[in-house]
Structure formats: structure tokens, C-alpha cells
Structure 1
Amino acid sequence: MGIAEAQRSTYEAVLRMQDAPFVAERPPYFSPAAAAQDKSNAPGAYGYFAQTLLPLEYTNWVEECGAHVTSCYVGDWSSLHKVVVRGREARAFLGWLGMRDLSRFELGQIKHHVQLDQNGWVASEGIVCRLDEEEFLYTAGSGDWLIWQLGQGSWDAEVQDVSPDRFIFGVQGPAALGTLEALTGESLRDIAFSRSRMSKIGGVPVRVLRTGISGELGYELHGPSEHANEIWSATVTAGERFGIRQLGLRSQPVQHIEAGIATNGLDYLPASILTPGAPRQFRRGIPGGSFVPEGGVTDYFRKPGELGWGFRKGLPDRDFQGRDALAADAAQGEPQRTLVGLRWNAEDVAGILAAPFGGGDLPDPMELPRGRGPVFDQVLAGGRRVGVSTGRTVSVNLRSTISLCVIDPAHAAPGTDVRVLWGRPGTAQREVRATVTALPFKPDRRRTDVSAPPSSQV
């Protein structure tokens, strides 16, 4: 059995037996590039990204967390759900399901696709790429909501889950372009931000997408699973002279916080969890942290405006799911929480990290560089709840502990002092001083102009 057949067979078994005991009945599921990655995975430690097991780190998290700023990394996002939508009404369906206007959508173009439920809560979120006139690829933490929604209507379109059939490798950082041009043997400077086109690596057709999950110059490689090992190895080899690093799971989510990007299942829970379109990938564990929901599970949900995904020029006239709910919210005129960054006080953080070496009750530990599951912490001002912090991480690039925060408008101005309540209820909680910061935390370099050759660039 080849890699492609093995990937699909194991993927289908995992989905079919997702609640069965691990190994005994439910098989372990690895990346299609696991053999190539194993050569550098000296610690031999793995963690879950959705249902896929990936190496936690290759060298160490400090080195890997800095690669997208100093050189570049190659990271494995093959765990993402990959769903092809095709048919005469494929674009119309996607335009109704997501907030983004798809009336002008070029071949190879990429668009952020935020999908709402009827209450205006974010139900799913990812990117959609136009592959052909009537064919689109949606990649996200979960495509289950999209698949379920298509089945509820009478759209002249169909979906195909190609998740185990294709790999997704991210190559992000200032040396990403040099690495990929060495890898493909051709200039890729014609690929603008949020665009893509086909190329070849060692004769294997791959799609090169220019994306920016790190906030830096960056790309993705999409290709067939049966060639994942050779292309991962070739990418590492091509990037050696540029200082490329392999990015482990432990470091993958750090860059999202630096770039001010909220992550589904970590910084908010998708509203789809209450429906038959619930994501199969996010059914492990419960949120941690000091936040205590007063209104039930919907306190973990977010409206698009709270995550920076609202409309700059007001609600458009076109129809999409959840529009009526957003219109009702706007009509009420209630202040909406906004997304900001928080810089945590270094002395207070150090006190928590050093607590095991002192006396007294021990607070919840801080995993470095960040926790691997959803953690929601209360944010206080004057002893009153004013927001919710998520994604607390140590940024080696900023030499600071940072997090995202949805906060009341009255406390959203950069420089505002707040406190984060650290620790689950019933533990030795501590208040950590923090300062509101504008997002992103570091300069946005996703749209770096690479059209000119290196010798003529300033």
C-alpha cells in the first residue's frame, strides 16, 4: 500500500472510530511527511494537531519560534481540513456561506472565508482558493460546517474531502522566497499576496500560495501526499543556506499571536459545536483558565467584529448567512468588544514561573512557549471584568509574554493598564499586570514587495 492509500485508509478509520480507545481500536494518524520529519525529530515526542500527530520540536522551541523573523521555517499544516467545492453553484454557495464578497474572484486568488451561524456567531473560518471556473478549495481547522451546510440546501454543487490526499507545508519568513525559488528552480516573484499558481518540485506539480499566517513574507505548498516526504526533505535542503528551521507543533501557534490572528478552537470556540456540523477535530478536552462563563457556552463564541473581521464600510446589502443577526446587533447600537493585544508584566510572569522554587500555594503552571489547548482568562480593571484574554504565549522575538484580548471599548486604548487573572477557579490564582497594545504586535510584512529582483531592491 502506497503513502496516499495508507493516508486515506487511516484517515477514514480515525474519523469512523474517533471515540474508540487510542491504538487498540483507533489507529495513530501521522503526517504524510512523517518519515522525512522523523530524521530530525531527535526527541521523538509528538502532539496532536486536530487528529494528526506531529513532532513537538526538532531543535528547541526558542530557536524555532524565532525562525520566521530571522530566516524562515518549514512547518506542517497537513492536519488542516481540505475540502473541494465544485459545481455550477459552487461560488454562489460559498458567497452565501461566508461574509466575504466573492463576486470578483480571480483564478488562483485566495480569500479569507469567515462563516457565521444564523445568530451571527463565527461558526468556521479558513481560506478559500479558486482552482478553476467552478472549483474551489477550502482549508481550515474544520470543514465540517461547510459540508453540513451544503447538505441542508439544494445547491447545484458537491464537496469532496481531500484532507488525506494532499499535504500543506508552510514556508514563512524573510528567506522564504529564496528557499522556494531554489526549490522550484524558477522565479516566484509574480505571485502577489493572496494569490497562487502551479509550479513543480522535482517534476511533482504543486500549488504555491502566498499567505501570511506569521505576519511575515510567507508561502504555502500544496501537493499530493504520496510525494510529501521527498518535498519536505527537498525544502529543508533548499533552505539550508538560508538558515531554514523545521517548525515543531510546540512553536506553531506562537506566530499567530504575534501577528494578532485569532485561531479557531484556541482563541474562541466555533458556534458550530452546537450543531450536526460540529468540527470532528476539536472534541478533546475543555477550555482552561480563570474565565467563568456566565451565559453558558456562547460566552466562548465570538462575533466577527470582536476578532477584527467586521466590515469597514458598514454592513453590505448582499445576502449571506448571519447577516440579519449582524444587522440586529448594529441596530441596537450596543458597544462591541474589540480585539487588542496585551503585554504581560515580566516580573509577575517570572513570579509564576518561579513559584515551584518558593513557598506557599502553587499557582497553575505556565507552559512554554504557550499552552496547547484553549485557555480563557478574565481581564480586570478596577476589580471588574472588562475582557477575556486568550493565547498567552512567550514571544522570543518581542522578549515579552503576550496574548490576545477581546475587551470593552472603554479599556481598549493602547497603554491602558489592566490585570489578567491567572489560574483556574479553586487554585492559587494570581493577578498579572498587563498593558493594552495595538495589533499586530510587530510590523506586518505579509505584503512585502518582491516584484523586483534582489540586486535592484532597496
Structure 2
Amino acid sequence: MTALPQNLASAVSSAGSAVALLRNAQARPTVFPVAPEFSNWRSEQQSWRESVALLDQSHHMTDLFLRGSDALRLLRDLAVNSFENFTVDRAKQFIAVNHEGFLIGDAILFHLEKDYFDLVGHSMAVDWVQYQLESGDYDVTAERDGNSIVRPGPPRLYRYELQGPNALALVEKAIGGEIPAVKFFHMTSFSIAGVRVRALRHGMAGQPGFELFGPWEEGERVRDALLAAGADLGVVPVGSMGYSSANLESGWVPSPLPAIFSGHGMDDYAAWLGAERAGSLAGSFSSNRIDDYYVTPYDLDYGRSVAFDHDFIGRAALERHAENQRRRKVTLVWNADDVAAAIGSLFIPGLPAKYLSLPKSRYGLYQADTVLSSGTQVGLSMDCGYMANEQVFASLATIDVSAAAVGTELTVIWGEEPNSSKPQVERHRQVEIRATVAPAPYVQFARSSYRDR
């Protein structure tokens, strides 16, 4: 088994606890190594609602290519999802939990060929799968292609997202004919600019579209063809600022704190995992127990993806969680006057509130802000920012069922006390911001679109 040079276990030991390590981590939050804006993030956000957005996903995610006769068995052993009818040219959201049934992470799993898969996403789920492969007995070979922050040279694949009401028309124009019939989260292939392109039928914030991918060397050629085909269809290249905020509309929490710092079997994993992949923790919620930051799949509305039709790590514990679903994912719409006052505190003498950057205000890889109901904690706000299409500042949160009804008035505590030593944290004071419970996804079109699928 390949050990990484400086492991998570030693980093936690040096810091005194997992919470202390994450709270004061010097690493930056997730960086998207593409241009922040091609025009401006407000117009770029609006493009996936009004015309068609072109997003470059080639650089910020990790790919783990798995090939071998035991590849499917490895994935089944680790995922809460069912693999019935998971044939070639299909994809799914891969969700993994620890032995206690708490979420480690999720990613998108592509079934590319017989016995050949590509797991794509943040490193949390990818690391877990790679560790289980290296420590287990599987006839599988793995090839890891890290994101452009850690990888020398270009990525193995280009990956472009086309989303919006004109996305399908753009693809048809680019391929010079009708799109092959393909269901949601199924794949097809066609030719663009003389090269074969694989395409996942996908949707972002409920809008129709495709995720296109192929060899990196062909990526610029394909992108130029897409821009040319979309010139009269309102195609808008979207930078990292706009792209990073799209999840607020779709209702996906991108990086819950992974349940890897405690629990059965995690000592060996911490000895294997590199300390640089620990991440950073931000937000007003404060507990010395790392377990208090963990969530279950049910807390994030992944229950519909859980299938107890196979054995997997954490199954017995997850069955117990299924019988006691205490929290629910919601959107919290922050009070406009309170948000304006927090931003306005920058212009008033005295200690200001924590800076609210737009469009996304998460300042750690994992965000955990306290949510109160009449002074009692009822949940965690986990990702926040501004949606230009809705003209609201909102967050995705997991809230006690008793306080999760649409229209319920709650309070988010914004800012840390005491201030941590993360480089992105300035001296500030905590403020209370009123918030109203709304559905997740927030956008009605996205809610009906995803549920229909």
C-alpha cells in the first residue's frame, strides 16, 4: 500500500485535535483554476436561465479511473447506491459513508466500458475508494488524475458543461443534426469538429444540457466549435465565480465535512491519507467534538439514493439512521436588510461583521454556521451566496425536522467566535441574520425537473 509523505494522523496529533487542525488550517478553500469571470458573474449566472452557459469543468475535479474484473465489486462495497441496471453508458451520483453511516463524500461515477469506470469529483470520495482498493483484495488497476492545482501538466480529459434553454439547440447545430435519443444521466457520443465527443445528458439548476468530455488534446478544438455554433444562440462562457454558485440553485451541498476523522477503521485511513487533503473548517458552529460536524445522507436529502439491496461499508448503521431521520435539507433565504447591514458594517467605525464575498461567501472547504430557533440550535448552514436569477442571498442547510417547514423563521449566526487563524479570516464580530426556510432546490423548475427524473 502506498503511503503518502505526511499523513493526516500526524497532522491531527500535532494540532491537538481534528477540530483544531481544520479550524486553523492555512490551506485556501476550493480554488477553481479557470478565469474568475469572462464577462461578469451576474450575467454569467443568468445565462443558464436565459440562453446557454458554457462551463469549463476540466480543472477543478479529480478523476479516478478504475479498470478490472473487480471494479464493480469495489464500488458496490463502498456505495450506498444500487448498481442494478448500471450498464455501460450510464452515470450516477456515487455516495459513500463510514462504518457509522455518516457521509464521507459524493462524486459522479461514469460507466465508460465493461469493467471500466471513472469517478469524478472532490477528493473526499475519491480518496476513500483509492484507499479501500489499495488496502483490499480487488483485481483492479487505478489511475488518478488530480485537479490542476496539484497535477503537473494538463488534465487527461477536457470536460465542458452546456446548460440552459438553448443548450440542446447548440449541440444540434454543433453536430449538424439531431441529438441521439438519450435519457437523463445516460451517455451518448457524437462528432463535433471532426472528433468523437462523449456526452452525459445532464442538468444544472434543472435546466437541460450536456456534459461533454474527451481527450484533452481535442478540447480546444471542441470548445471553439461550441462557441461558433452558439454565437447566435446566446452562448456565454462562465467563469469560476459564476460556476461555483450554481449549486445554490440546484440544491447540492458541494463539500460537507467528511466523516473520516473518527470512528471504526479510521486510524488506518488517517495513517494513509495525506495531511494536505484534510481541508479547512469555517463558520460559527463551534464544538470540540468532530463528530458533531458529521451528517448522514438523509440530512442532505440523499435518502432516495440509498438502496439496501447489497452489502456496503456502513449499511447496518445507515439502516438505523433511516429509522431516525432527524434533519432535512432546506434553503435558507437570508433577510435582505440583515445582509445589507452586515456588508454595511464595513463602512461604520468599529469592528465589522465577517466579510460577505459575492457571489459565494464560503471561506473554508467545509462551512458550518449555527442556525437557531428562538435561541436553540436546530441545524447547520453549509454553503451560502447570492443568486442573481432570484435576487436573493441564501444558504443550503440541514435543519431539524421540527423547524424545517417552509416559511419557518430562523436565525443564522455569521462569523466566528473566537476568530480562527485561517488566512482568509480577518478580525470581525459575529452577527445574527434572520432567515426563512424555503425548499431545496430553491427554484421551482429545478425541483420539478429533478424529481421527475
User: What do you get for the CA RMSD once the two structures are aligned?
Assistant: 2.7
Distance 1:346 1:50, change over 3 A: closer
Going from structure 1 to structure 2, the CA distance change for 1:51 and 1:401 (only over 3 Å counts) comes to closer
* Structure 1 residues 358 and 302: alpha-carbon distance in aligned structure 2, compared to 1, 3 A threshold: same
Residue aligning to 1:270: 258
Would the aligned equivalents of 1:124 and 1:270 in 2 still touch at CA under 8 Å?
Answer: yes
Find the aligned partners of 1:386 and 1:375 in 2 and give their Cα distance.
Answer: 16
User: Is the alpha carbon distance of 1:71 and 1:17 closer, same or farther for their aligned partners in structure 2, counting shifts above 3 Å?
Assistant: farther
* Preserved CA contact (<8 Å) 1:335 1:408: no
Partner of 1:384: 376
Question: Does the C-alpha gap of structure 1 residues 391 and 50 become closer, same or farther in structure 2, counting only changes over 3 Å?
Answer: closer
Worse-matched range after superposition: 207-216 or 93-102: 207-216
Q: State the alpha-carbon separation in 2 of the partners of residues 125 and 116 from structure 1.
A: 9
Pairs within 5 Å for 1:114-125: 114-125=95-106
Q: Structure 1's 281 and 396: CA in aligned 2 closer, same or farther, altered over 3 A?
A: farther
Is residue 203 of structure 1 aligned with residue 197 of structure 2? no
CA distance in 2, matches of 1:416, 1:52: 35
CA distance in 2, matches of 1:345, 1:62: 20
SS in 2 for 1:104: coil
Q: 1:152 aligns with which of 135, 139, 155?
A: 135
What residue in structure 2 maps to residue 362 of structure 1? 352
Give the share of equivalent positions with the same residue, in percent.
30
Aligned-partner Cα distance in 2 for 1:418–1:232: 45
Q: Given the alignment of the two structures, is residue 322 of structure 1 paired with residue 314 of structure 2, yes or no?
A: yes
Counterpart residue identity of residue 415, structure 1:
G
Identify which of 41, 63, 70 aligns with 1:61.
Answer: 41
Question: Are positions 1:161 and 2:144 aligned together?
Answer: yes
Q: CA deviation at 1:338?
A: 1.2
Matches within 5 A, 1:344-363: 344-363=334-353
Q: Tell me the TM-score normalised to structure 1 length.
A: 0.81
Tell me, yes or no, if the aligned pair for 1:216 and 1:446 is still in contact at 8 Å.
no
Contact persistence 2:296–2:321 (CA under 8 A): no
Distance (Å, rounded) in 2 between the aligned partners of 1:181 and 1:139: 26
Cα distance, 1:117 vs. partner? 1.6
1:218–1:281 Cα change, 3 Å: farther
How far the C-alpha of 1:298 sits from its partner, in A, is 2.7
Shift in Å, 1:440: 1.1
Instruction: Please report how far the alpha carbon of residue 124 of structure 1 lies from its aligned counterpart in structure 2 after TM superposition.
Output: 2.5
Distance 2:447 2:376 in 1: 37
Structure 2 letter corresponding to 1:343:
V
Say whether the 8 Å CA contact 1:388–1:405 is kept in structure 2: yes
Deviation at 1:442, TM superposition (A): 0.5
- Please give the residue correspondences for 1:240-259 in structure 2 after superposition, counting only pairs within 5 Å: 240-259=231-250
Taking the aligned partners of 2:284 and 2:439, their CA distance within structure 1 comes to 24
Q: CA deviation at 1:17?
A: 11
Q: In 2 relative to 1, CA 448–421 (structure 1 residues): closer, same or farther, beyond 3 Å?
A: closer
Following the alignment from structure 1 to structure 2, what is the Cα–Cα distance between the partners of residues 327 and 448? Answer: 28
Q: CA–CA distance in 2 between the matches of 1:300 and 1:233?
A: 44
2:282 corresponds to 1:299:
no
Question: What is the distance in 1 between the residues matched to 2:135 and 2:330?
Answer: 36
1:290 aligns with 2:284: yes
Distance 2:142 2:62 in 1: 12
In the TM superposition, residue 246 of structure 1 has moved relative to its aligned partner by 1.0
* Among candidates 127, 143, 161, match of residue 170 of structure 1: 161
State whether residues 54 and 249 of structure 1, in contact with CA within 8 Å, keep that contact through their aligned partners in structure 2. Answer: yes
The amino acid across from 1:322 in the alignment is G
Is the 8 Å Cα contact of residues 410 and 434 (structure 2) preserved in structure 1? yes
Counterpart residue identity of residue 283, structure 2: G
- Alpha-carbon deviations, 1:282-325, whole Å to 9, x = none? 555x2222111242x2333221111111148x862421111022
Which of 184, 196, 204 aligns to 1:193? It is: 184
1:3-60 Cα distance to aligned partner (Å, 9 max, x none): xxxxxxxxxxxx9999xxxxxxxxxxxxxxxxxxxxxxxxxxxxx8957622111111
The DSSP-based 3-state class of the residue aligned with 2:395 is strand
Once the two structures are TM-superposed, the CA of residue 254 in structure 1 deviates from its matched residue by 1.4
Contact 1:198 1:208 in 2 (8 A): yes
Alignment CA distance shift 1:361-1:51 (3 Å)? closer
Q: Give the distance between the partners of 1:446 and 1:387, measured in 2 at CA.
A: 22
Preserved CA contact (<8 Å) 1:50 1:282: no
Secondary structure of the 2:139 match is coil
CA contact (8 A) 1:49 1:249 kept: no
Letter in 1 for 2:133: L
Distance apart, 1:189 and its partner CA: 4.9
CA distance, structure 1, for counterparts of residue 42 and residue 327 of structure 2: 33
Contact 1:111 1:194 in 2 (8 A): yes
Inter-CA distance 433–448: structure 2 relative to 1 (3 Å threshold):
closer
SS of the residue 1:251 aligns to: helix
2:379–2:397: 8 Å Cα contact kept in structure 1? yes
Task: Tell me how far apart the structure 1 counterparts of residues 29 and 431 of structure 2 sit (CA, whole Å).
Answer: 30
Task: Give the structure 1 partner of residue 441 of structure 2.
Answer: 440
Please give the alpha-carbon distance, in whole angstroms, between the structure 2 residues aligned to 1:124 and 1:392.
19
CA distance 1:283–1:239, shift in 2 (3 Å): farther
Distance in 1 separating the partners of 2:71 and 2:431 = 51
Aligned-partner Cα distance in 1 for 2:297–2:432 = 29
Match of 1:260 among 251, 254, 260: 251
The alpha carbon displacement at 1:212 in A equals 2.1
CA offsets 1:372-418 (integer angstroms, 9 cap, x no match): 53432111111111111121111111111111111111101111110
What residue ranges of structure 2 are gaps of 5+ in the alignment?
8-27, 147-154, 419-427
The equivalent of 1:132 in structure 2 is 113
Asked if the contact 1:340–1:437 (Cα under 8 Å) also holds between the matched residues in 2, the reply is yes
Q: How many residues align?
A: 400
8 Å Cα contact 1:77/1:169 also seen in 2? yes
